[in-house]
Amino acid sequence: MPSIFSPLKLKHLTLPSRILRAATYENMADPDGCVGEQHARLYQKLATGGAGTIITGFSYVSRQGRALQPFQAGIANDEHIEAWKKVIDRVKQADPNCRIILQIAHTGRQTDRKATGETPVGAGPVRCTYFLSRVHTLTESETAAQVKIFGQACKRASRAGFDAVQIHSAHGYLIHQFLSPYTNRRHDRYGENRFLFLKEVLEDARSRTSIPIILKMSGSEDRPRAITPDLTSAYISEIEHLNIVDAIEISYGTMEIAFNIMRGGHPLDPVLHHNYLFTRFGPAFLWFFKHFVFHWYKRRFLPFSPMYNLENAIHIKKKTNSTIPLLVTGGIRSVEHIREVIEKHGFDGVTMCRPFICEPDIVTKFSSNLSKKSLCTSCNLCAVNCDSPNPLKCYRPGSENR
Ligand SMILES: Cc1cc2nc3c(=O)[nH]c(=O)nc-3n(C[C@H](O)[C@H](O)[C@H](O)COP(=O)(O)O)c2cc1C
């Protein structure tokens, strides 16, 4: 079994260790999606701290695929490439061996027209119970055009100098919407074969760039007749046949219940203050919600437990017997957890998000025995602040990285 600090080889790319910093939305770009000094400092700090491999927050592939937050980074044009180049330079100056991977995404129905300038698009007309926007179902030719948009974004990632690209196929974003039977109720070729959109995206991306391609997939979601571990396994078997993908990260859920992607605390006051669902309501409604509705509402939230995606990931791993390196994310907080995922269950690596927000040097602390356990309490103040104008940081009172 590989040790957790041994390199991880992804065909043409070697990652310094089995621990990766998971994609984490930064809320730091300018309104045109260009990254700048704040991004550079964030990633420089992670590189200096020994992160080894950094996956960026989700960057939009086109204006139509923008998230609600006004400070999301983009990889939709040449200006974005130039801006990212400077950030990558800073990372490589800090640690020439640090790998930096761009996560790219199209939000599909999980956004609203204020962000995109048009009716959000999706695999089908089903509205998202969180964003509530009307959804324009992409026609067959519009879907084929999206394939190229993803491919072009991958090409831009490689021109910017990223070591790899992660195509976001999880959390209910556009690719997930095509994969899930709940959102993809189409009768055309993209509905008869729900894998087809992702397959074409991967083929187009590979025809444009040779950098490694990593996928993030939700192994399961919160509703019946949607993505299940068995369906994810079937998709991974098809992905394996394509021989394009270099690693797959197993996550969970959709933005319909974002707290179930992350699990942990539900800090209600900042949610009511910042969250899109609530900012449209006045104080009387918020008071009523807080005192009478929230208790009932939060029954939808799944509890946090250490390594909460591991069970699904084990199911998927056993079912597919995949030779594609598999990474697990979610609730991994200690050296013991990482060993369990890698050494006991045979996964190739782990990704951690919140522990790196709280301690950017956590890998160095682990590798030098300065610490065996993250200080992160999964309070989710960092997550809730994604909806605020504030930049990414640890918002827990008393945190060393506030
Ligand atoms: C503040 C914050 C921002 C996140 N941004 C992204 C993102 O941009 N893309 C993504 O795929 N996942 C994102 N996630 C999910 C994480 O990558 C990760 O899968 C999840 O938080 C579970 O890992 P953890 O328990 O180590 O935090 C985010 C999570 C948090 C808390």
CATH number at residue 358: 3.20.20.70
**43 and 77 co-located in one domain:** yes
pLDDT average, residue stretch 258-263: 97
Residue 392 lies in a domain: no
| pLDDT beyond 90 at 344 | yes
Paired residues of 121 in beta bridges: 136
Residue from 24, 56, 307, 359 whose mutation best tests the ligand 1 pocket (most atoms within 8 A of CB): 24
Q: Are 100 and 88 in contact (CB under 8 A)?
A: yes
pLDDT confidence of residue 204:
98
Tally the domains of the chain.
2
Sign of the CA dihedral running 316, 333, 170, 12? negative
Say yes or no: 237 and 354 in one domain: yes
Asked if 380 contacts 266 with a C-beta cutoff of 8 angstroms, the reply is: yes
64-98: pLDDT as tens digits: 999 999 999 999 999 999 999 999 999 999 999 99
Same structural domain, 274 and 242 = no
In a domain, 215, yes or no: yes
Q: Are residues 170 and 289 in the same domain?
A: no
171 CA → ligand 1 middle, Å? 10
Residues 154 and 251 in one domain: yes
Ligand 1 pocket test, candidate residues 353, 366, 396, most atoms within 8 A of CB: 353
Q: Looking at the structure, do residues 94 and 189 belong to the same domain, yes or no?
A: yes
The residue count for the chain: 402
Same domain for 61 and 191, yes or no, is: yes
Residues 274 and 368 in one domain: no
12 — pLDDT class (breaks 50, 70, 90):
confident
CA-to-CA separations, 253 to 150, 159, 224, 258, 326, in angstroms, rounded: 22, 32, 12, 7, 18
State pTM to two decimals.
0.98
| Position 395 in a domain | no
Best CA proximity match to 121, nearest among 177, 61, 200: 177
Q: Is 365 found in the same domain as 282? A: no
Ligand 1 center–CA 251 separation, angstroms: 9
Q: What's the domain range around 280? A: 267-300
Per-residue pLDDT, 399? 87
The answer to whether residue 396 sits within a structural domain is no
Strands 13-15 vs 8-10: parallel, antiparallel or unpaired: antiparallel
Half-sphere exposure of residue 74, counting CA atoms within 13 Å on the CB side? 25
- Nearest Cα residue to atom 10 of ligand 1: 23
**Residue 332 carries which DSSP code?**
-
Q: Is residue 41 located within the same domain as residue 175?
A: yes
Residue-wise pLDDT for 110-167, tens only, equals: 999 999 999 999 999 999 988 889 999 999 999 999 999 999 999 999 999 999 999 9
Per-residue pLDDT, 29: 98
- Inform me whether the pLDDT recorded for 1 exceeds 70: no
pLDDT computed for residue 398 by the predictor = 86
User: Which is the closest atom of ligand 1 to the Cα of 354?
Assistant: 27
What residue owns the CA closest to ligand 1's atom 6?
24
How far, in Å, is the centroid of ligand 1 from the Cα of 391?
15
Say whether both 176 and 286 belong to one domain.
no
Decide if pLDDT at 2 tops 80: no
Ligand 1 pocket list (CB less than 6 A):
22-25, 57-58, 103, 168, 171, 216, 251, 261-262, 329-332, 352-355, 382-383, 386
pLDDT at position 402, please? 65
Q: How far is CA 79 from CA 90, 107, 117, 158, 358, in A?
A: 18, 21, 20, 14, 31
CA of 120 to the centre of ligand 1 (A): 23
Q: Which atom of ligand 1 is nearest to the CA of 216?
A: 11
d(CA 25, CA 56): 7
Atom of ligand 1 nearest to the CA of 357: 1
Tens digits of residue pLDDT in 346-396: 999 999 999 999 999 999 999 999 999 999 999 999 999 999 999 999 999
| 243 part of a folded domain | yes
Which residue has the least CA distance to atom 16 on ligand 1?
A: 353
Q: Which residues of 238-252 are buried (b: 16+ CB within 10 A; e: fewer)?
A: ebbeeebbbbbbbbb
**Could you tell me the two tokens for 341?**
């995922």
> Mutate which of 25, 275, 363 to test ligand 1's pocket (most atoms within 8 Å of Cβ)?
25
Rounded CA separation 83/85 (Å): 5
Quick check: is 101 in a domain? yes
How far is 384 from 177, CA to CA, in rounded Å? 24
DSSP 8-state secondary structure symbol assigned to residue 373 = B
Instruction: Give the separation between CA 18 and CA 348, rounded to whole angstroms.
Output: 7
Cα(72) to ligand 1 centroid in Å equals 14
Strand spans (E) along 312-390: 326-329, 349-352
For residue 166, report the distance from its CA to the centre of ligand 1, in Å.
Answer: 13
Mark whether 136 and 271 lie in a shared domain.
no
In whole numbers, what is the pLDDT of the chain averaged over residues? 96
304 falls in which pLDDT band (50, 70, 90)?
very high
Return the closest-CA partner of residue 93 out of 55, 46, 54, 44. Answer: 44
Distance from Cα 383 to the centre of ligand 1, integer Å:
8
Residue nearest to atom 14 of ligand 1 (CA): 24
Residue 288 belongs to some domain of the structure: yes
Residue 397 placed within a domain: no
